[in-house]
Amino acid sequence: MARLSAGVRVILWMGFFLMSAVLSLAARALDHTQLAVIVNALDPLSVQIGDYYVAQRRISFQNVIKVEFPPGKTVLTREEFEIIKARVDAQTLPHVQAYALTWAAPYRVECMSITSAFAFGFDPVYCAEGCKPTQPSRYFNSRSSLPFAQLKMRPTMAIAASSFEYAKALIDRGVEADGTLPAGTAYLLSTSDSARNVRAASYPLAEQLIRGRIFGRTMKQNVVKHAPDVLFYFTGLAQVEGLETLRFVPGAIADHLTSAGGNLIDSSQMSALRWLEAGATGSYGAVVEPCNLSQKFPSPPLVIGHYLQGATLIEAYWKSVQMPGQGIFIGEPLAAPFRKREEPR
């Protein structure tokens, strides 16, 4: 990963500050009637995850979309993906605003993540070679509660797991989290890895946003161990130690800024799946080299801010990434710890 200049980091911090102004304006969150679940009928684990998720979240059979392709492949070609996408489009009802995938692989379509390819359709403008920006997301920090109706895109998240046991635990945590208004801590780690620590410039804003709601602190250290109340955990490292010692609050979000965290089943670094296996409910990782452009990773102030307003996990996470073309979103999409229980789910 390349290193950003101090000047660029200051500009980014100012951008986060300006963007935070809209966080006071909450939008209605997505619910289970607006989410379609995409299942690979040739993958027994995908089918099992889909069946369980549909039952737990009361997803209508009309919102279950079945496709068929050989399982286990990590990267699809554009041609392979567009055949699958055409079948999905043909089965998607107009009211559907977002997608949930039920597999960990494939996680990529050529130069795009699988979640961004489903959200936007495959388009090279969302890719970049080297340390260059990509097409921004029109959903970034948006007030939209109907992304397809209003923005012509469907944010997508993979309910990714290496086994049904992990998937079941993830889904159960998401459902359990709803409306709990949990106490917990936002761990904002400023690490010694200067190239991967670029988001630390935004931590003061994150602390301002959560003041009086939850506890949060910037910690100048590489890891957290034995914490019993992890609600958010943001860091910048290739490998994160001590996850097995942590206790995550249901609905927790955690990720690490690095080059290959989104290579879910064959990463040379730590896979974002390790966060879910440790107890987080959502995570994110890059599937191709993003360099350390912070716009290609979740903004801690924005994901925390939208989540605390009652957004679902898929909404809060997607709205926090300005350039998501090269990153995959994983977790339980409808988890909404800060949405009031009396609202429709």
In DSSP terms, 156 is beta-bridged to: 99
pLDDT of residue 1: 58
Q: What are the E-state strand segments in 266-325? A: 282-286
Name the band, by pLDDT with cuts 50, 70 and 90, for residue 308: very high
Match 């920090």 to its residue by tokens.
Answer: 141
pLDDT tens, 238-296?
999 999 999 999 999 999 999 999 999 999 999 999 999 999 999 999 999 999 999 99
Beta-carbon contacts of 338 under 8 Å, excluding residues fewer than 6 positions away, are: 181, 307, 308, 309, 310, 311
Q: What percent of the chain has pLDDT over 90?
A: 88
The 10 Å Cβ neighbour count of residue 241 is: 12
Specify the amino acid at residue 176: E
Residue 124 has pLDDT above 70, yes or no: yes
Q: pLDDT at position 341, please? A: 72
φ/ψ (deg, to 5) at 259 = -80, -30
Closest CA relative to residue 202, chosen from 288, 304, 315: 304
Q: What band does 27 get if pLDDT is binned at 50, 70 and 90?
A: low
**The pLDDT value given to residue 206:** 96
pLDDT cut 70: percent of the chain above it: 91
> Between β-strands 185-189 and 156-158, what pairing exists: parallel, antiparallel or unpaired?
unpaired
Please check the confidence at residue 29 and state whether its pLDDT lies above 90. no
**SS3 at position 248:** strand
What CA–CA distance (Å, rounded) separates 22 from 8?
A: 23
Pairwise pLDDT comparison (72 vs 8), residue with the higher score: 72
Relative to beta strand 112-113, strand 108-109 is antiparallel
Confidence (pTM): 0.93
d(C-alpha 65, C-alpha 36), whole Å: 7
Report how far Cα 344 is from the mean position of its chain's Cα atoms. Answer: 22
Could you tell me the two tokens for 215? 């506890």
What is the rounded distance in angstroms from the CA atom of residue 208 to the CA atom of residue 328?
Answer: 28
Q: 75 - beta bridge partners?
A: 108
